[in-house]
């Protein structure tokens, strides 16, 4: 049984957390890490009981429940290792009170990951789990308390999101919000936080991971058996209730008939029924509301004349009766004609099949990009040129090649998307904890956690960026009264191979954002911002209505002008990040203007005068996971030493 929190409960929790924040921030990183490691050991030892609760409350199969607990343990150990090896309370300063709002589809893994990261960074936490899975959350919190986390540092606030959420986000003492869920709710949280600034006069951090219209592309060279195996897992495991789940299967028309026939045959072998029965493959969706919404989509597509196939193995009489009583949706395949037919993500065991011609691959990739989502993508091909073609154009957080596209592993495949799929940084990646700090040393990224010391985490420099920045510096040196800007170092390495299982190659990349809005009141501020953005290789957007921007643009060399968009109305321009320098009134106005924009959440970075620009806020992270055994063999398997 669960009693949901009242507004009085929530306000008291915020007050208690704010009162304890300074004491928790003083606890050494080593001691915080030790508590998280004790919690990880306790969670692992309590695996069987936690599995049972995940099966009963969240409808997980036993296999999914095992993976869920393992992922929660991984998060605890990963963030503990990072703070123990790199953090120092003198230079790594936490935000303060952080609200963590987690979803029901990973009620232990994501819930624990958010909490572990915030606590490890030195923040106190108020955790708001999904109302459907409150019992699991309560058990996770108890394990953390028993491991030594003070109750004032971690409080559980169960309740309905629409009721409890505003109480835990609109309070001025809340200095950070972590959220995993729908894009619509993330935008609402952004609008709430845009009404105020944090205690240091900076925007309140919102770390949001949302959904995706995830596609898998299959060409004629792919091995059909591998494709069908990976499609079944990607689309129907966890009843399709994963952020990363496959939603659109794009098959080259030359092999679409064969793949479709095999896929239908494989779907017909899936068993649907209560997850407490080990022989069942597909369990229920989370509740009746979810079931009814998914069924409405299926009915709508059928009414449009689309082919709808629902195939699965019926069990015995008891299983059939349980399915009729419960919130089940059969594994469903819907054949569509264009990607534009899908207006939003369908969060359940529904797979859409789209045929494409080989010569239209670039056009298909453009259609996927046009959805605005950028979470996961799959690719099945045995042609290296196709892998390069897709990976160079795919703007997604996680790309999976010749394997399934679910089950990202902490530290091996850091997870998180871009565009409508989230703000970044990636959970289980080297940059995540930095977003939960109010201050860090300038040298923090010289040796990022999990990246080899000889490698650099800086994004790749765009073609011509080095020359453009050099010409700008030369221009500055020749201007009376304009100081020579310090050169922002260029780092040549942007791709890093992370540790992983033999037969799989996992690459972590950082890329510059496409365009950055730069707002500053004077020439020195604009030049500092310009230098930072050009060093990354992104474009710059300036407000043409600002006299300082218009005058400076006119004086710059033509090559530098080519990297700048001087916009008479910047609100109509496309950009995916914003830099601000100026007073709090202008910062607040800019923050609210960005929150009013349609589309993706735009990260806003406020940089005090003469302070360095945090470059990690101006990049997007991408992970590529390749099954090297699927493309004809892997030589590394022969050199196990």
Residues acting as catalytic residues: 209, 243
Q: What is the DSSP letter of 629?
A: T
- CA proximity to 96, closest of 170, 212, 198, 164: 198
CA atoms of 525 and 100, how far apart (whole Å):
34
Displacement of CA 313 from its chain's centroid (Å):
35
As a whole number of angstroms, the distance between CA 220 and CA 236 comes to 23
CA distances from 380 to 155, 219, 383, 494 (A): 45, 7, 9, 25
CB atoms within 10 A of CB 293: 14
* Cβ proximity of 3 and 135 under 8 Å: no
DSSP label of 461: P
Cβ–Cβ under 8 Å, residues 165 and 100: no
Are 76 and 37 within 8 A, CB to CB?
Answer: yes
Contacts of 255 (CB under 8 A, 6+ apart): 218, 219, 220, 222, 224
Q: What is the DSSP string of 317-377?
A: HHHHHHHHHTT----EEEE-S-GGG--S---SSEEEEEEE-GGGHHHHHHHHHHT-EESEE
Tokens of 311: 């195939």
Which among 434, 431, 433, 452 has a CA at the least distance from the CA of 499? 452
3-class SS of residue 622 = strand
- Cβ burial, residue 374 (10 Å; 0-12/13-18/19+): buried
Q: What is the H or E stretch that residue 481 is in?
A: none
Q: How far apart are CA 249 and CA 254, in angstroms?
A: 14
DSSP letter for each residue of 508-558: EEEEE-SEEEEE-SSHHHHHHHHHHHHHHT-EEEEETTSHHHHHHHHHS-H
Q: What is the DSSP letter of 639?
A: -
How far apart are alpha carbons 19 and 25 in whole angstroms?
A: 12
What is the C-alpha to C-alpha distance for residues 126 and 589, in angstroms, rounded to an integer?
Answer: 28
> 145 exposed, middle or buried (CB, 10 Å; 0-12, 13-18, 19+)?
middle
Length of the chain: 641
- Residue 425: cis peptide before it, omega within 30 degrees of 0: yes
Residue 210 near residue 186 (C-beta atoms within 8 A)? yes
Which of 337, 360, 355 shows the shortest CA–CA distance to 251? Answer: 355
Specify the DSSP element, H or E, that contains 208: strand 206-209
């Amino acid at each position: 049984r669960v009693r949901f929190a009242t507004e009085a409960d929530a306000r008291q929790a915020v007050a208690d957390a704010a009162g304890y924040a300074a004491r928790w921030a003083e606890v050494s990183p080593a001691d915080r890490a030790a508590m998280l490691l004790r919690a990880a050991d306790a969670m692992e030892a309590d695996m069987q009981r936690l599995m049972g609760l995940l099966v009963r409350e969240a409808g997980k199969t036993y296999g999914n429940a095992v993976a869920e607990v393992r992922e929660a343990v991984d998060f605890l150990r990963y963030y503990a290792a990072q703070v123990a090896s790199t953090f120092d309370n003198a230079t790594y300063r936490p935000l303060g009170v952080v609200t963590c709002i987690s979803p029901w589809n990973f009620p232990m893994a994501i819930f624990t990951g958010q909490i572990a990261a915030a606590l490890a960074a030195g923040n106190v936490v108020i955790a708001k789990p999904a109302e459907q899975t409150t019992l699991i959350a309560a058990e996770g919190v108890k394990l953390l308390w028993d491991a030594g986390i003070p109750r004032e540092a971690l409080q559980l606030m169960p309740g309905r999101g629409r009721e409890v959420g505003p109480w835990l986000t609109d309070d001025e003492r809340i200095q950070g919000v972590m959220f995993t869920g729908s894009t619509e709710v993330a935008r609402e949280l952004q609008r709430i936080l845009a009404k105020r600034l944090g205690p240091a006069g900076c925007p309140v951090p919102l770390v949001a991971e949302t959904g995706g219209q995830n596609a898998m592309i299959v060409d004629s060279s792919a091995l059909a058996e591998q494709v069908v195996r990976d499609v079944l897992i990607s689309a129907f495991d966890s009843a399709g209730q994963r952020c990363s789940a496959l939603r659109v299967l794009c098959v080259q028309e030359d092999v679409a008939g064969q793949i479709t026939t095999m896929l239908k045959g494989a779907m017909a072998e899936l068993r649907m029924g209560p997850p407490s029965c080990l022989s069942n493959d597909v369990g229920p969706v989370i509740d009746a509301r979810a079931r009814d919404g998914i069924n409405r989509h299926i009915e709508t597509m059928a009414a449009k004349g689309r082919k709808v196939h629902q195939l699965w193995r019926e069990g015995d009489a008891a299983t059939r009766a349980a399915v009729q009583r419960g919130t089940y949706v059969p594994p469903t395949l819907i054949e569509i004609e264009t990607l534009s037919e899908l207006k939003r993500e369908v969060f359940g065991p529904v797979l859409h099949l789209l045929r494409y011609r080989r010569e239209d691959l670039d056009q298909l990739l453009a259609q996927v990009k046009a959805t605005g989502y950028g979470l996961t993508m799959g690719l099945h091909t045995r042609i290296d040129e196709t892998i390069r073609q897709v990976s160079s154009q795919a703007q997604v957080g996680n790309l999976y090649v010749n394997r399934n596209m679910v089950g990202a592993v902490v530290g091996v495949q850091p997870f998180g998307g871009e565009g409508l799929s989230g703000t970044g940084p990636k959970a289980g990646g080297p940059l995540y904890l930095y977003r939960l700090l109010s201050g860090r040393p300038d040298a923090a990224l010289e040796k990022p956690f999990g990246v080899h010391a000889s490698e650099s985490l800086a994004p790749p420099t765009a073609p011509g960026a080095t020359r453009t920045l050099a010409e700008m510096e030369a221009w500055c040196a020749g201007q009376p009264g304009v100081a020579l800007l310090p050169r922002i170092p260029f780092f040549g390495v942007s791709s890093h191979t992370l540790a992983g299982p033999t037969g799989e190659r996992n690459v972590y990349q950082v890329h510059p954002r496409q365009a950055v809005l730069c707002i500053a009141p004077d020439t020195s501020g604009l030049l500092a911002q310009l230098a930072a953005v050009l060093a990354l290789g992104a474009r710059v957007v300036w407000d043409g209505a600002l006299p300082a921007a218009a005058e400076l643009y006119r004086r710059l060399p033509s090559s530098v002008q080519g990297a700048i968009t001087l916009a008479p109305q910047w609100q109509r321009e496309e950009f995916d990040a914003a830099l601000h320098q100026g007073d709090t009134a202008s910062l607040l106005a800019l923050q609210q203007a960005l929150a009013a924009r349609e589309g993706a959440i735009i990260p806003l970075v406020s940089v005090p005068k003469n302070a360095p620009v945090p470059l990690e806020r101006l990049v997007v992270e991408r992970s590529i996971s390749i099954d090297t055994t699927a493309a004809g063999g892997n030589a590394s398997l022969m050199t196990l030493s």
